Amino acid sequence: MPDVEQTTLTIGGDRVFLNHSGDGKSEAILFLHGSGPGATGFSNWQFAVPALGKQFHCLAPDLIGFGKSEHPQNPVKTIGGWMDLWVKQSIALLDEMKISQAHLAGNSMGGAIALHLLNRYPDRFKKVVFLGSIGTPHKITHQLDFLWGFYENPTAERMAQIIRWFAYNPAIIGGDLDGIAQMRLKAALDEGVRRSFSAMFPAPRQKVIDDLVVPIESIQRMKHPSLLVHGRDDVFVPLETSMYLLQHLPKVQLHVFGQCSHWIMIEYKDAFNRVISDFLEGKS
* Catalytic residue IDs: 108, 234, 262
Q: Cα dist. 241→186, 231, 234, 251 in Å?
A: 31, 11, 11, 16
Write the burial class of residue 191 (CB in 10 Å: 0-12 exposed, 13-18 middle, 19+ buried): exposed
Chain centroid to Cα 128, Å, comes to: 13
Side chain identity at residue 147, one-letter code: L
Write the burial class of residue 192 (CB in 10 Å: 0-12 exposed, 13-18 middle, 19+ buried): middle
Task: For residue 174, give the nearest of 93, 283, 263 by alpha carbon.
Answer: 263
d(CA 55, CA 47): 14
Contact 68, 89 (CB under 8 A): no
Angle between helices 177-188 and 191-200 (to 10 degrees): 90
d(CA 196, CA 235): 24
Contact 93, 117 (CB under 8 A): no
Task: For residue 14, give the nearest of 111, 85, 120 by alpha carbon.
Answer: 85
